Amino acid sequence: MSASGTAAAGRAEQLLRQVTPGRYDAYEALLQALAEDRVWMLLWQGSAGSPDAQYGNMQVEGLGYAPCVTSAQELAVSGWTRTHEVVTGRDIARVLYPDRWGIWLNPHAPGGGVGIPWLDLRRIATGLDRMPAGPLRLSEPAIEIPQFYAQLTQNAHRTPAVRALRRAWVQPALGAPYLAIGLDLYDTSPGSVDSVRTMMRQSVGAVPDGLPVSTVAMSDEYDPVTMWLRANTRPFYDREAHASPAPATGYGYPPPASRAY
């Protein structure tokens, strides 16, 4: 993962200067550049590539970040006297996000630099176009589409892989809001996944034109929509409750204001 630290400032460093509070378009462009650019990770101990290498760490608003800089020039002015490791943004994202660590770019810079929380590192690692731009605003859906829910519930009952379904209204920082369906499955074997895809294809015909619908796996412990669904909703379809009715018994983004620019 290590490489020479002599390259000139890349696109990410240039875009970093454009990021200001509320400029989610500039922040999204920064994430896109980070996926391809390199960062200089500050090592608290050990050397690049050694088994005892350990990144520095910092806590901001209860979230963990590993500090780094965006070029050899920034490293020189940062005052960092220990060793460092040069990696691509995508590579470090793959390493850090599973442990829920983000990166903090140029913490020595005037204003304190910019923090990239682990949820955005996950987007970099898995593909920025595959997940909505955060921070997300999540709520119970207010739109009335009983025909779709009835069709989906019927089809879910005929699909043995489905344990339960949940729903959320998702408003990304950029892009159109959409309805998310949380899929709680008994297993994720290829056959089960194919049957659930068929279930959704058979159901979306009842969705009004122009209403985007997406799905999330309730087994995904890193997805912010899934985390919200687990914490804030009950299933609108529950196979086990349907079979044996029982009496009812009584995420990772920092708040927008806490993200430093």
Strand partners, 49: none
CATH match of 11-130 with 3.90.190.10: no
pLDDT in tens, 153-191: 999 999 999 999 999 999 999 999 999 999 999 999 999
Q: Which residues contact 154 (CB under 8 A, 6 or more apart)?
A: none
Single pTM value for the model: 0.82
CATH 3.30.300 in the chain, residues?
Answer: 137-245
CATH 3.40.1350.90 in the chain, residues?
Answer: 11-130
The CATH class for the domain spanning 137-245 reads alpha beta
Q: How many CB atoms lie within 10 A of CB 252?
A: 18
Residue 5, pLDDT > 60, answer no
For residues 213 and 257, which has the higher predicted lDDT (pLDDT)?
213
Round to whole Å and give the CA distance between 166 and 192.
Answer: 18
The per-residue pLDDT for 9 is 58
Q: Specify the residue for token string 């309730």.
A: 218
